[in-house]
Amino acid sequence: MTCLSPPAQRIWWNEPVERVELIWIGIVVVWGLVLTLMMPLWHVYGEQNLSTETYRTNPAQYQTKAQAMVDQFTVRTEGARQFPVVAPPVGSDVYLVARLWDWWPILELKEGQSYRLHLTSMDWNHGFSLQPVNINIQVLPGYEHVFTVTPNKSGEYSIVCNEFCGIGHHNMVGKIHVVK
Amino acid sequence: MSDNNFRTCPDTGLLLHKPALRLIQANAVAAVVFLLVGGFMGLGVGLTRWPEVHLLGAQDFYTALTGHGINVLIFWIIFFEVAVLYFASSAVLRCRLAAPKIGWLAFALMIIGAVMNNYAVWALNSAVMMTSYAPMPAHWSFYLGLILFAVGALIGCFLFLGTLVIAKKEKTYEGSLPLVTFGALTACIIAVFTIASGALILLPTFFWQLGLISNIDAGVYRLIWWAFGHSSQQINVATHITIWYLVASIMFGAKPLSEKVSRFAFLLYIAVLQIASAHHLLVDPGVSAEWKMFNTSYAMYLAVMASMVHGVTVPGAMEAAQRARGFNNGLFEWLRKAPWGNPTFSSIIMSIFGFGFLGGITGVMMGTEQLNLLIHNTVYVPGHFHATVVLGTTMTFMGLTYWLVPILFRRELILMPLCKIQPYIFALGMTGVSMFMMGAGTMGVSRRHWDVSFTDATYPYEYASSALSMMSLNGLSVVVAVVGGAMFCLLIVGALLFGKKLGEDEKSSGFMIADPVTDEQYHALHASTNNAIPGTFSLAMIFLTTFALYYFINWKYLAETWGLS
């Protein structure tokens, strides 16, 4: 009798079970419940729970909103391509554009303050990878994802695109400044 | 069964259906060829991501990465799985294969599809990665190639099912299916679901590229694509665990600890694993937190439970058999006295450890709603699946191939000393690949990225230097792994061409199959102890402790990052 031959009983469900297997299954069930419960518990007690608030959008509509924010709150420009640096009011809606192959504009946020960050793509899939804190979020065209961010430390942060988006993918890096 | 369409294997006593054998040979050889092709592309990928080497240009890198993923993750693995399905039905059940001619049609479709897809990737500007996320377009032949390949594989699945019907009807076995065939059946059922999901998304995408459909929604594409993409990994898991049981029997004459528990764990895979692909969408917009939590866990991580059960019952079956045969001292004599020089055994045992400790633990971490934020789309992800799919599935298939060569091809293996060390070289390299990518991913390094130093970016970013060192060590490990992989391909192809020919009734000179452990031997073991597998159980406890530590450390990392709500 091996794994290559039929079990002794005609109906395999009637085969006996080893005691040690049952003990292990008991342990695994308990561990599985711990793994499952950690997720809702973190929603109650943890501070990193990504909102799933999402709206349908299109590039023209979203660009209008982002442009309005840039026109109103730009404080300076930065870098060889003179991207606007936008310092939006605390608690306001902040529109970040992901497109081939930029994150636009550059944001300047205040440490310890919250903002409603909007995220969408103008073309293909992109990946919002905030470094060095390592927060990673998928960005889809047609979907406007809104969530609240609360930077907990001042400094310079980069947004690396970590979803493949064509030949310029590796140059798609944006910036967020967090100031005191 | 005096039919001259059959021959009896002198090494194993298996009754082999000749038309089935030829199909198994063809599918297995095609598998190894695509492994060689895909592995070679993997070398290009690894050497480019090695910061100091940075071998390929950007376009070639993305092309090689696309081809690497598709050739090894789809073509090598599925060709081999079709061979396993034919073997687990016709050879294990001593039955003729249903409709071998249609099997050749399936094989032809798979070859045409695989070649067409490779051509699209390399010549028709379709470096869109294996996932080909719409609306990024590939040439229509990219999708058509995958569709033809999938249709071929689906036909293979139905031949397997047809063979089970014939075996039942012609009474080639009594009672329930053997465990190995049962496991293959679960893999086949998951495969049918998987291919249906693939059709559901690849057909519309193909029509979109022909201009018949105006628009593919990016979110819906990801949702359905992953019902295909992740489920295909469940085919792999069900298949390689089936082979683990098979190898426990051929190496040690083992029977399962209990038929009921092992089979129930296989059934759990069908019930839950193939739809748990939701964990790919944990940081996507458009799906609710409740949806994410429920669909990754099914209220209690039933799929993880199934794998944790197999993780104990497979080595447990080996341990019980070894102890019943007299290797009963201490916790680990059964394992120490195992045939470590046999490439089939060494591949499988390292596969079990690599899949569990490296692949399993990290998979659960990644599949947790909030923790996924820490690693989504970083090189942690390929680090994880090089543990599951390469250390787990590929190494298991390699191990089985060593055993199959004399049976299928009537040839001896060549250069045995090299066969003996090949699994260790490959495992060493691939463990490095997996761990160093996971290390770099933990520090944020992006996957699918040509330039880790951001030389041409307007606003460049510099990863931590330790992250870059990890990528260098990964490159070094890639070289070791490719040496191991190339050795495998050459040793197998070499055996088929130059191995000593064996007559139809001539026994192979190597070890082929152990005598089954007798019921009396098992009874004697059980009479002497109430726990027949103390060694496996203590390993399981070490596993659980590692798992828990690693899991909670990641929650601690998460707590330190920006607040999100």
Where are chain A's structural domains?
1-49, 53-179
Contact state of B530 with A15 under an 8 Å Cβ cutoff: no
Which residue ranges in chain A fall short of pLDDT 70?
none
Nearest to B457 among A33, A140, A171 (CB): A171
Contact state of B261 with A119 under an 8 Å Cβ cutoff: no
Residue B118 resides in a domain: no
Q: How far is A68 from chain B (nearest CA, A)?
A: 23
Contact state of A152 with B561 under an 8 Å Cβ cutoff: yes
User: A104 and A137 in contact (C-beta within 8 Å)?
Assistant: no
Mean pLDDT score, B292-317? 89
Fold classification of A53-179 (topology level): Immunoglobulin-like (2.60.40)
Contact state of A127 with B446 under an 8 Å Cβ cutoff: yes
* pLDDT band for position B299 (cuts 50, 70, 90): confident
Is the predicted pLDDT of residue B207 greater than 90, yes or no? yes
Nearest to B297 among A36, A50, A164 (CB): A36
Is the predicted pLDDT of residue B274 greater than 70, yes or no? no
Residue B332 resides in a domain: no
The ipTM estimated for the assembled molecules is 0.95
For residue B453, the enclosing domain spans 339-499+531-556
Residue B394 resides in a domain: yes
Note the pLDDT of residue B1: 46
Selected residue with higher pLDDT from B503 and B430:
B430
* pLDDT band for position B4 (cuts 50, 70, 90): confident
Overall number of domains in chain B: 1
- Please give, one letter per residue, the 3-state secondary structure of chain A: CCCCCCCCCCCHHHCCCCHHHHHHHHHHHHHHHHHHHHHHHHHHHCCECCCCEEEECCHHHHHHHHHHHHHHHEEEEECCCCEEEECCCCCCEEEEEEECCEEECEEEEECCCCEEEEEEECCCCEEEEEECCCEEEEECECEEEEEEEECCCCEEEEEEECCCCCCCHHHCEEEEEEEC
pTM: 0.96
Note the pLDDT of residue B273: 63
Nearest to B176 among A11, A127, A152 (CB): A11
B279 touches chain A (CB under 8 A): no
Residue B242 resides in a domain: no
Residue of A nearest to B514 (CA): A2
Helix (H, G, I), strand (E, B) or coil at B287: coil
Q: How far is A104 from chain B (nearest CA, A)?
A: 11
Contact state of B458 with A83 under an 8 Å Cβ cutoff: yes
Contact state of B459 with A173 under an 8 Å Cβ cutoff: yes
B428 touches chain A (CB under 8 A): no
Per the prediction, chain B carries an average pLDDT of 95
Contact state of A52 with B288 under an 8 Å Cβ cutoff: yes
Note the pLDDT of residue B367: 92
pLDDT digits (tens, 9 = 90+) for B107-158: 999 999 999 999 999 999 999 999 999 999 999 999 999 999 999 999 999 9
pLDDT digits (tens, 9 = 90+) for B468-509: 999 999 999 999 999 999 999 999 999 999 999 998 889 998
* CA-closest candidate to residue B231, choices B298, B183, B277, B280: B277
Is the predicted pLDDT of residue B276 greater than 90, yes or no? no
Contact state of A171 with B246 under an 8 Å Cβ cutoff: no
**CA B141 – CA B225 distance, rounded (Å):** 18
Is the predicted pLDDT of residue B2 greater than 60, yes or no? no
Q: How far is A82 from chain B (nearest CA, A)?
A: 10
Nearest to B58 among A15, A114, A170 (CB): A170
Residue B404 resides in a domain: yes
* pLDDT band for position B411 (cuts 50, 70, 90): very high
Residues of chain B above pLDDT 70, percent: 99
Note the pLDDT of residue A1: 76
